[in-house]
Amino acid sequence: MINNNKEQASQSSSSQSLKKLNQQQKSSVEVRHFSDNGENEVDAAFMRQALLLAQKAQAIGEVPVGAVIVVDSMIVGQGYNQSIALHDPSAHAEMLALREAAKNLENYRVLDATLYVTLEPCPMCAGALVHGRVKRIVFGAYDQKTGAAGTTMNLVQHDLLNHKIEVTGGCLQEECSAQISAFFRQRRRQKKG
């Protein structure tokens, strides 16, 4: 009984420490919102390219997420979710775009690059983007469950990591959110039927 109490107290203390760290980190998060950004037209144009890629993902039964990586106003990498098709849990749109950009630039670091993605990156993708030294992330829909660019956690601006990424959220948010919501509504209907 004593061991259980000590274990519960330790877990509670760890949980409180994590909550405190999360709150501190959220207070230092610097996520700009799309309407605050002076580059709206350029951002919207590249986000539309990402939305077209997301349609390709949806056409093959994948979660509709698309991504493009841009350097000097040129798309150097692009991708859309293909985890199911490629039997690869890491085949998210951002990961595929990052791989293609690194290959095209002949450098594992994609310096001065902006990632445009229809859904806020997950922790896996956020970590890869930090390692790839992406300069900026522009995302469309906020991910309330696994968003790692400021919504549920902020890995792309974490104080303990050696690179921080500028973030702009909510670019063409309505279109991006509608695309993902429609996909999951259809999937739920298929499961019921």
**Average confidence (pLDDT) per 10 residues, the chain, 193 residues:** 48 47 46 59 96 98 98 98 98 99 98 98 98 97 94 92 94 96 90 77
State residue 9's pLDDT score. Answer: 46
Residue 158 annotated in ligand binding: no
- Element containing residue 78 per DSSP (H, E): strand 74-80
87 is in an annotated binding site: no
- Please, what's the b/e burial string for 43-67 (b: 16 or more CB within 10 A of its CB; e: otherwise)? bbebbebbbebbebbbeeebbbbbb
Residues that are catalytic: 94
pLDDT for res 34: 59
pLDDT at position 16 is: 53
| Domain positions in the chain | 30-192
Q: What tokens were used for 93? A: 């749109």
- Is 125 annotated in a binding site? The answer is yes
pLDDT of residue 28: 44
**Residue 24's pLDDT is what?**
45
List the CATH code of the domain at 30-192.
3.40.140.10
